[in-house]
Amino acid sequence: MYNSLTRIQAVFGFFTTVAFVVASLIAASDFAAPRTPSATVKATNVQVVKGRPHYYSTKKEEYAIIKFSLDADLSSLFTWNTKQLFVYVTAEWPALPAGGTNQTNKAVIWDTIITSPSADHLSNLGPAALRKLRKQSAGKSVDPNRGKLVLKNQKPKYQITHPSGRIASTADVILRVHYNAQPWVGVLTWNQDADLGLWRKLAGGVSAAFELPALKTAAKKAGSA
């Protein structure tokens, strides 16, 4: 009645269904784990200079260098289903209305990837640093301490530029903390704008507004005159 191919197809279909159901349950289990992320960020040193912000830049332009301090507790985002956490800081400032719509400038100044102990092999670290990381979390499937960041006067990874080539004396600039939680099974989740069940939106994570200083070279010329 049934040949071998039909039986193989039936077995494969059964195991595919089981795998789908198990994966769905694993993904749904994340909603049972409370999330209470919090962060405090502030600018500590801001400079604006004129030059070539990148080695491939073809012309000189103004760019900002923003050092900052960050104190974040994202440990509640780590569960047994968390693969890694992508954390980044942006500088944002409003632009003048154009075409009847308000625009907001946004640029990433710093980012990092925090892996769970089961995903350490994905870390972009050297052999020595990777061995130290694995030693600290030996025997742990979840290491909440990895979600705690304390940075003092951190140098940015990226400078801020603008298509116009001018960015000095820009007002109402803020720093904002973002995260992207990547699970082994399930959907990617970003910063929440509102609470969702046991998941709370990021507490804090926005700095006080500040102004980018005038061009540094211009200040030197004025002083020498």
pLDDT digits (tens, 9 = 90+) for 181-222: 999 888 888 888 888 888 999 999 999 999 999 986 544 444
Of 136, 131, 177, 170, give the one whose Cα is nearest residue 154. Answer: 177
Q: Is the pLDDT of residue 103 over 80?
A: no
Q: What value does the mean pLDDT take over residues 61-66?
A: 92
Phi-psi region of 192 (alpha: psi -120 to 50; beta: other; left: phi over 0): beta
Q: Which amino acid, one-letter code, is at 17?
A: T
Contacts of 8 (CB under 8 A, 6+ apart): none
DSSP 108-163: EEEEEEEE-GGGGGG----HHHHHHHHHHTTT-S--GGGGEEEEEEEPPSS-B--T
Q: Is the pLDDT of residue 135 over 70?
A: no
What is the pTM (predicted TM-score) of this model?
0.80
Position 14 scores a pLDDT of 83
Q: How far apart are CA 160 and CA 91, in angstroms?
A: 8
Q: Quick count: other Cβ atoms within 10 Å of Cβ 221?
A: 9
Q: pLDDT by residue (tens digit) across 149-175?
A: 999 999 999 999 888 888 899 999 999
